[in-house]
Structure 1
């Protein structure tokens, strides 16, 4: 959320409607995420399987991202400024979360690739221990843009910046245009690697699905649909990289249109991908959905459930 007067120029009613819509969407999906995390941690079956561990990691990252981005949205709406040091801490936390989810989705795609194309090695490669190692690698890779971005900021920022108060956003730490171009280049490199990985996995799974029969064919096509949905999430996530260029062009035309485009980009390309994960895995996965129905059913009947269906 960027400019100091980003909501100025919109009718007050429109302000409230836009903000209320975001609050409702975030509240709903945070509840869904928390429920699914509860299901994950209460059943040993889920936290011993790689795909569910990756799924839980995605839920945690997305929930944290939704909370922080919503705080920044409300601070921007109410024109509440923060001291540079506090804003810096918030941005250091939220910055890597932008790339963590796409990389985790790529890891989930590779897990499906191994399960379908290399079934005999799946049990050996996709263990809970290896899952934790992969998550450490994911966070390490996600921290590279963060390290580059804030290294350039600390190296070039005048001391007066550290005493200022401003509306908090990552953009306020871009003091030179080349900083934005550098981070954009890193993100596009990630996008290229992730795109190639997903496409190759998709092609291999298609080949296996066409040659399979019976239950293996059913499992292969289900895995293919999951990979396809991950690809949609990734496209939405990385489209955000081009949003600033679109918004800058629209700003030259009309300010109110710029605010509307900025809001639409926030909902579609920032909130959207993070709201798809619980729907793709939590509702489409048979075992997880059975546990979800069981948990909700027990809660609605106010009975203590002692035996899980999974």
Structure 2
């Protein structure tokens, strides 16, 4: 059970630190706050560009990108809240705890699903350019986002049914330190969560590989490395890189298993590197790289400095 729990998220692999580790904890929290502030700054710039530029709001690619950033922000807020609550032993009612954990895990699953849809949008744009305007509209992108969230939330419904059938009503009246292992009461829950996670990443990985191959086959027909197909191929590779970053949570269990006896502060290091860092990088991987967003970000940043 510990295996799949660790694979699913790092937020619960934390304990109360002794005095000798308090400085490490404080330094880690300081780094976390600084990184989160930079993340929010770039997120604010990107959102300002998105909501004040009509043609960007009507572009399916940017709709999906902004949704991913908002989802990453939600995930970071939830995961940091749960991490600090576990770190400082804050007790919450079980219903509230289950809601927060379910929302957090759903948000975690939504990120790779969103990457898959973004890769498919690039695939349609390059392989079926004449149908792109018809298939990839803002309305359809909003429908795709709703479907993504529905699919991401379904495992939580199955998990709640399995949990409710195994525990009495007294369990939901308890106050607990909110953590995912504390809500795993049956082997069925553990199995469902492991299978859902593995299948999700495997399916998304296959979609990204397939779309990249098809796009690059189109790109080979063009001699110029500056063609839209080559650029789309690079974008899909960025999706694959982002998926790989999301999958780094798999390595945290192995690191905790073999190194935890040598490094007491390992849980918080794992939390920073494998849970927070991949989401902190999203605005830089996509927003700063994109020519349209980069132009507007520089403009907004220059205006902010001038007003300051």
User: TM-score over 0.5 for the alignment?
Assistant: yes
- Report how far residue 248 of structure 1 moved: 6.2
For structure 1, the 5+ residue unaligned runs are: 304-310
Contact 1:226 1:280 in 2 (8 A): no
Q: Could you tell me how far apart the structure 1 residues matched to 2:178 and 2:71 are?
A: 20
What is the match of residue 220 of structure 1?
229
Q: 1:2-42 CA distances to partner (integer Å, 9 max, x unpaired)?
A: 25735348621111112221122122212221221121111
What is the match of residue 144 of structure 1?
154
- Report how far residue 155 of structure 1 moved: 1.8
Q: Could you tell me how far apart the structure 1 residues matched to 2:41 and 2:59 are?
A: 23
TM normalised by structure 1 equals: 0.88
- Report how far residue 255 of structure 1 moved: 4.3
What is the match of residue 306 of structure 1?
none
- Report how far residue 162 of structure 1 moved: 1.8
Contact 1:247 1:258 in 2 (8 A): no
Structure 1 segment 205-244 matched on structure 2, within 5 A: 205-214=215-224, 217-241=226-250, 243-244=252-253
Q: Identify if the C-alpha distance between structure 1 residues 86 and 291 changes in structure 2 by more than 3 Å, giving closer, same or farther.
A: same
Q: Identify if the C-alpha distance between structure 1 residues 46 and 177 changes in structure 2 by more than 3 Å, giving closer, same or farther.
A: same
Query: Secondary structure of 1:152's partner?
Result: helix
- Report how far residue 126 of structure 1 moved: 1.0
Q: 1:189-220 CA distances to partner (integer Å, 9 max, x unpaired)?
A: 111211111111111111111111448x5322
Contact 2:85 2:177 in 1 (8 A): yes
Query: Secondary structure of 1:211's partner?
Result: coil
Q: Could you tell me how far apart the structure 2 residues matched to 1:4 and 1:164 are?
A: 21
Q: Name which of 267, 270, 276 aligns with 2:275.
A: 270
- Report how far residue 266 of structure 1 moved: 2.1
1:28 aligns with 2:35: no
Contact 1:106 1:197 in 2 (8 A): yes
What is the match of residue 257 of structure 1?
263
Structural RMSD (CA)? 2.2
Q: Could you tell me how far apart the structure 2 residues matched to 1:239 and 1:144 are?
A: 24
- Report how far residue 117 of structure 1 moved: 1.8
Q: Identify if the C-alpha distance between structure 1 residues 132 and 3 changes in structure 2 by more than 3 Å, giving closer, same or farther.
A: closer
For structure 2, the 5+ residue unaligned runs are: 1-10
What is the match of residue 282 of structure 1?
287
TM normalised by structure 2 equals: 0.89
Kindly indicate whether structure 1 or structure 2 has the higher relative contact order, using CA contacts under 8 Å at least 6 residues apart. 2
Q: 1:22-69 CA distances to partner (integer Å, 9 max, x unpaired)?
A: 122122212221221121111111110100000110111111111111
Q: Could you tell me how far apart the structure 2 residues matched to 1:11 and 1:296 are?
A: 39
